[in-house]
Copies of this chain bind each other. A is one copy, B any other.
Amino acid sequence: MKWINRVSKLFQPTNVVPKSYLPKIDVSSKSHQLMINTGIISNSSTGMFTFLPLGLKALEKLTKIIDEEMMLIGGQKIYLPALTSASLWRRTSRMVESQPELFMIMDRHGKEYLLSPTFEESITNVISSLGSLKRNKLPLKLYQISRKWRDEIKPRLGLLRSREFIMKDLYTFDSNLENATNTYNIVKSAYETILNRIGIPHLKIFADPGTIGGSISHEYHYLSNIGEDIIKLCKNCNYYEGRFKESKSYCPSCQQSLDKINSVEIGHTFLLGTKYSEPLQATFIDNNNKRQFLVMGSFGLGLSRILATAIEILSTDLEIRWPLKLAPYTVCIIPPKEGSKEESASSVAYDLYFELQNSNIDVIIDDRIKETIGKRFIEARKSGYPFVVVVGKNSLNSVPLIEVHDIYNSSQFKLELNEVLQYLKNIL
């Protein structure tokens, strides 16, 4: 028996069906409202969210893209404990700097831990505890995709500024600054590939390393009105600069005036040097058989924030739009209404479903056949399925035709069954 993905069984808020939307959750964030209303996430506590089935599927697709690109640069995936011993953060002097935003825990024996917002100390301690690395292990690139925590004073905008968030963090270890810089550039380029595959235009900005420390740092931004960062952009020649540059009013390249534009930081990379490896004694054995401190890099990508910002940028006020490669289901098939004269064509809908599923296309069928095609079509648009396939009245023609709607490109076609398959396979 093969499982069939059915809209009727999908776990979403009960009220997703009605024409009117649920009360607004956060008036300033379109994406948050859409994500709550269509059952991508639900609000569990202040700044803490449950990924519902649709949301988790998108998150898993994003994870897969990242895993693939990390594999190509020799990234090795690990999973660090969520709790980091506070004593490690004391040794790197980060305890004081970051304290107010840390969730602290004390165990039954009085030992202090923090729910980690970032893992430089934790990973450096793992390296250190396993002994000095052999030189041929370098560069070492270790990453995880996991939850992080920050006790934001004012959580807001849903996943954009939450207290629990999903982040991919990569840590690199090299023998010297030159090699570390080389590794930094390789990872930076893998990050560009990841962001290009997601498909939302992004800006890469030279940045201030801040409390994480180190010498070189870049931020990755999506442009969106909802963003709390500000970037200066020249609309004439596309010159731009981040908040860390000296403030200019005119483009240094073409002299046009610079616009201030809001943006969301979705990634941040740091060339750390030995800020963590020295206090935590993470070393390698050099060619003269001497222990030397590892030169580190740290690279973050905010997965939950990427999802929310992408939806914010792409969606209309009433209809979710996903980056095509992250949509939880790529195709929604709407079979005929029960009792309609085209009901006999409903087997066509299921045939198509299985053909698509066998081609590894994420497909769901809206089996609520008591509802009209029109009502289900409107809802399919709201739910953000990139392609909606309707088996309706033309399915009874002498040559049966099926409607394929490319929602994001506002185009539609009437195709024969085998053409539908070919069309979707080609495009996906």
Residues of A within 8 A of B (CB): 1-3, 8-15, 39, 42-46, 48-53, 55-57, 59, 71-74, 76-85, 100, 103-105, 107-108, 111, 113, 115, 122, 125-126, 129-134, 136-137, 140, 142, 147, 149, 151, 153, 163-164
Residues of A contacting B: mostly? mixed
Is A103 a contact of B105 with CB atoms below 8 Å? yes
CB proximity of A242 to chain B, nearest CB, Å:
29
Extra pairs beyond A14-B130, A56-B78 (13, CB < 8 Å): A2-B72, A8-B136, A9-B136, A9-B137, A43-B129, A44-B84, A53-B76, A57-B77, A81-B164, A82-B147, A103-B105, A105-B115, A147-B147
Residues in chain B near residue A130, CB distance under 8 A: 12-14, 39, 42
8 intermolecular pairs with C-beta atoms under 8 Å apart:
A9-B74, A44-B125, A45-B83, A50-B80, A53-B76, A56-B77, A100-B108, A115-B115
- What are the 8 closest A-B residue pairs judged by CB atoms, nearest first? A14-B131, A51-B79, A48-B81, A53-B76, A13-B130, A44-B81, A45-B85, A50-B80
Q: Which of B59, B76, B79 contacts A10 (CB 8 A)?
A: B76
Residues in chain B near residue A108, CB distance under 8 A: 100, 151, 153
Name A102's closest neighbour in chain B (CB-CB): B108
Q: Which of B12, B56, B164 contacts A83 (CB 8 A)?
A: B164
Residues in chain B near residue A11, CB distance under 8 A: 76, 78, 137, 140, 142
CB proximity of A117 to chain B, nearest CB, Å:
13
Once bound together, how far apart are the Cα atoms of A188 and B162, in whole Å? 36
Residues in chain B near residue A80, CB distance under 8 A: 44, 50
Q: Which of B13, B14, B78 contacts A52 (CB 8 A)?
A: B78
Name A17's closest neighbour in chain B (CB-CB): B134
Once bound together, how far apart are the Cα atoms of A78 and B136, in whole Å? 41
CB proximity of A388 to chain B, nearest CB, Å:
21
Is A51 a contact of B72 with CB atoms below 8 Å? no
Once bound together, how far apart are the Cα atoms of A125 and B50, in whole Å? 11
